[in-house]
């Protein structure tokens, strides 16, 4: 259970006044969204406020080498993906907002935008479709863009393959970074692998529901909704030294061999970071032989 003391509180007069002012602005339409639908105030005051207890109290997230995240200019944050449910994306977003002081514009899979409620919420919180056009525009505007190249292969990997990076796709994220001339910040997230240990997959039911997978964990579906409570693992997020792309001409993004080699390099860097960070934190579970 999440400690009650960590939950958002509006008992103090200033908090109540702040909330009333927020509600009044929402009712009157006195707020702004950007061209992608990002609502900065809603994200900070409501969405992130709801998940901060997970970040601070449940997962006790610790960031390492935050200095490697640019303070103002555009960059592409590339991270490993895991955890059965993509809570790592939300925790990374909180880390960027609260500790780096920058909003993270995450690139989401097509499935996210095929679900009406989730699609609307994702847009409001700064996410956008993982397509070259949107990524290029955001980075050229100086935004911090986040991507998980493993996609569903990463977030849905079995527990036996924890902390082993899956394939990084075709390297579209690298091509976008080259076109925008922004650095790539390799990022390693340790802890997410352990919140829902996936030991099986209900493949037939997943196909019926149009889902990439339907996991079996030690607690789900055995314990029903209670099995959806994530285990309180200790998280660490490390930001590696930025990999520059401004030494290439924008046209280099069309060179498949260059893009492949740079993609492979980013993947190797993140894998090495994961290995080292996991040792630094200590093994929550004994390593597999």
Question: Per-residue confidence at 2, pLDDT binned at 50, 70, 90?
Answer: very low
Q: What are residue 195's phi and psi, to 5 degrees? A: -80, -30
- Mean pLDDT on 22-28: 69
- Mean pLDDT on 120-149: 90
**What is residue 4's predicted lDDT score, i.e. its pLDDT?**
45
Residue 145 tokens read as 């863009």
CB-based contact 229:177 (threshold 8 Å) = no
> At 119, which helix (H) or strand (E)?
helix 116-124
**Position 183 pLDDT exceeds 50:** yes
The DSSP result for 123-184, as a single string, is: HHTT-EES-HHHHHHHHHTT-EEEE-TTTHHHHT--GGGTT-----TT-HHHHHHHHHT--E
Question: Per-residue confidence at 123, pLDDT binned at 50, 70, 90?
Answer: confident
Quote the CA–CA distance of 275 and 32 in Å, as a whole number. Answer: 42
**What is residue 141's predicted lDDT score, i.e. its pLDDT?**
92
Question: Per-residue confidence at 230, pLDDT binned at 50, 70, 90?
Answer: very high
Question: Per-residue confidence at 262, pLDDT binned at 50, 70, 90?
Answer: very high
Condensed to tens digits (0 to 9), the pLDDT of residues 186-200 reads: 999 999 999 999 898
Condensed to tens digits (0 to 9), the pLDDT of residues 73-95 reads: 999 999 999 988 889 999 999 99
**Position 48 pLDDT exceeds 50:** yes
Burial state string for 4-32 with b = 16 or more CB within 10 A and e = fewer than 16: eeeeeeeeeeeeeeeeeeeeeeeeeeeee
The DSSP result for 11-55, as a single string, is: -SHHHHHHHHHHHHHHHHT-----TT---HHHIIIIIHHHHHHII
């Amino acid at each position: 259970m999440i400690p009650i003391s960590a939950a958002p509180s509006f008992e103090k007069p200033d908090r109540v006044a702040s909330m009333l002012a927020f509600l009044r602005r929402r009712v009157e339409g006195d707020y702004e969204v950007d061209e992608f639908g990002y609502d900065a105030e809603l994200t900070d005051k409501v969405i992130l406020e709801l998940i901060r207890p997970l970040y601070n109290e449940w997962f006790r997230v610790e960031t390492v080498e935050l200095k490697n995240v640019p303070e103002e200019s555009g960059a592409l944050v590339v991270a490993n993906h895991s955890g059965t449910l993509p809570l790592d994306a939300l925790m990374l977003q909180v880390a960027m907002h609260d500790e780096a002081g920058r909003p993270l514009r995450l690139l989401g899979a097509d499935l996210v935008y095929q679900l009406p409620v989730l699609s609307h919420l994702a847009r409001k919180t700064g996410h956008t479709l993982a397509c070259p056009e949107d990524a290029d525009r955001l980075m050229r505007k100086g935004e911090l863009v986040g991507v998980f190249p493993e996609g569903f292969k990463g977030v849905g990997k079995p527990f036996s393959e924890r902390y082993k990076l899956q394939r990084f796709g075709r390297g579209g994220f690298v091509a976008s970074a080259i076109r925008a001339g922004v650095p790539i910040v390799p990022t390693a997230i340790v802890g997410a692998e352990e919140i829902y240990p996936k030991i099986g997959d209900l493949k037939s039911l997943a196909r019926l529901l149009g889902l990439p997978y339907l996991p079996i964990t030690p607690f789900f579906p055995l314990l029903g909704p209670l099995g959806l409570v994530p285990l309180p693992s200790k998280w660490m997020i490390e930001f590696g030294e930025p990999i520059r792309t401004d030494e290439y001409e924008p046209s280099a993004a069309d060179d498949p061999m260059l893009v492949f080699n740079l993609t492979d390099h980013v993947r190797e860097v993140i894998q090495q970071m994961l290995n080292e960070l996991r040792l630094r934190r200590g093994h929550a579970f004994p390593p597999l032989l």
